Amino acid sequence: MNKYIRNNIIISLMLLSGLANGQRTTLLMGGIAHLGNGEKIDNSIISIKEGKIDLVADLSKIRIDPDAFDTIYKIYGKHVYPGFILTNTKLGITEIDQVRATHDFREVGDFNPNISSQIAFNVQSKIIETVRTNGVLITQATPQGGVISGQSSVMYLSGWNWEDATCKANDGVHLRWPSSYYNTGWWAEQGKREKNKEHNKKVNEIIGFFEKSLSYSKSNNTVDLKMESMKGLFNGTKNLYLHANYANDIIDGIDICKRFKIKKIVLVGGEDAHKVINNLKENNIDIILNRVHRLPKNEDSPIDQPYIQASILHKNNIKFAFSYAGGMEAMGSRNLPFTAGTAVSYGLDYENAIKSLTLNPAEILGIDKTLGSIEQGKEATFFISEGDALNTIKNNVQYIFIKGEEINLENHQSKLYKKYKDR
Give the CATH number for residue 65. 2.30.40.10
Same domain, 192 and 52: no
52 and 102 inside one domain: no
- One domain for residues 179 and 53: no
Does residue 199 lie in a domain region? yes
Q: Of 32, 48, 77, which residue is a domain's last?
A: 77
Asked if residue 188 is part of any domain, the answer here is yes
pLDDT bin (cut points 50, 70, 90) of residue 18 is very low
Average pLDDT (242-249) is 96
- Residue range 161-202, pLDDT digits in tens: 999 999 999 999 999 999 887 777 776 676 777 788 888 999
* Rounded average pLDDT over 397-417: 92
Mean pLDDT of the chain: 90
Q: Show the domain range for 99.
A: 84-372
Query: Is the confidence at residue 99, as pLDDT, over 80?
Result: no
Residue 388 within any structural domain of the chain: no
CATH of the domain at 362: 3.20.20.140
HEC-encoded secondary structure of 408-421: CCCCHHHHHHHHHC
10 pLDDT band, cuts 50/70/90, is: very low
- pLDDT of res. 23: 64
Give 250-270 pLDDT, tens digit per residue: 999 999 999 999 999 999 999
- Comparing 71-85, 178-192, 245-259, 304-318, the range with the smallest average pLDDT is 178-192
26/109 same-domain check: no
Question: Do residue 285 and residue 204 come from a single domain?
Answer: yes
Question: Which of 38, 59, 77 is at the close of a domain?
Answer: 77
Same domain, 109 and 41: no
Q: What's the domain count of the chain? A: 2
- Shared-domain flag, residues 96 and 193: yes
In a domain, 252, yes or no: yes
Give the integer Cα–Cα distance in Å for 6 and 308. 40
Asked whether residue 218 falls in the same domain as residue 94, the answer is yes
Do 54 and 89 lie in one domain? The reply is no
Q: What are phi and psi of 87, to 5 degrees?
A: -100, 155
Question: Around 303, how many Cα atoms within 13 Å sit in the side-chain half-sphere?
Answer: 1
Q: Which pLDDT score, from 0 to 100, does residue 301 have?
A: 87
Q: Is residue 410 part of a domain?
A: no
